[in-house]
Amino acid sequence: MNRGHNDCLVSIKAGAAYATSVFLVGFVLGTVRVLFVVPRFGETLAVSLEAPIMVIVSWAASRWSAHQFAVPPNVTARAVMGAGAFVVLMLAEAAVAVGIFGRSLSGQIASYQSTGGAIGLLAQIAFAIFPLVQGWLIRRSVGH
């Protein structure tokens, strides 16, 4: 197996671990948000409070996952990790929305048009970009 293929497999595994860890934290925080924060403060404020926490969690989880799986800091490996993580995260969210909350897939997609949904989607886009940014920071620090 060549190095590029191995880097790709490592990146996919790291992305899956990254997405799973962030999804689990998000599931817990989302439950707290829906049950306790939304009824008191509304959806937009609740998501606005949760999003920065999830961004911090995502940054840390991306670093941990890339380190644990030894993902190279090159653009391709980090892009595969981020894209794979984004796909896994979106599929997991859709599965929960449809399977647990009975929302249609089109309803889930439409939910991103609300203010709260857009805030959440922006946090998810940041989540997908973090492996690339962290790889760039590593390459910059070592002069690559």
The model's pLDDT over 21-47, given as tens digits with 9 standing for 90+, comes to 999 999 999 999 999 999 999 999 999
For residue 105, what are its two tokens?
Answer: 């897939």
CA angle 118, 119, 125 (to 5 degrees): 85
pTM: 0.93
Beta carbons within 8 Å of 103's beta carbon, 6+ residues apart: 97, 111
Res. 144: pLDDT tops 80: no
Res. 138: pLDDT tops 70: yes
Question: What's residue 118's pLDDT?
Answer: 96
Domain ranges of the chain: 3-141
> How far apart (Å, rounded) are the C-alpha atoms in residues 46 and 44?
5
Question: What's residue 119's pLDDT?
Answer: 97
Question: What's residue 1's pLDDT?
Answer: 53
Q: Is 20 exposed, middle or buried, given 0-12, 13-18 or 19+ CB atoms closer than 10 A? A: middle
Quickly state the pLDDT bin for 5 (edges 50, 70, 90).
confident
Question: What's residue 142's pLDDT?
Answer: 86
Question: What's residue 128's pLDDT?
Answer: 98
Res. 11: pLDDT tops 60: yes
Contacts 24+ apart (CB under 8 A), 71-74: 71/7, 71/10, 71/11, 71/14, 71/131, 71/135, 72/7, 72/135, 73/134, 73/135, 73/136, 73/138, 73/139, 73/144, 74/7, 74/135, 74/139
> How far apart (Å, rounded) are the C-alpha atoms in residues 89 and 58?
11
Q: What average pLDDT does the segment 128-135 reach?
A: 98
Average pLDDT, the chain: 95
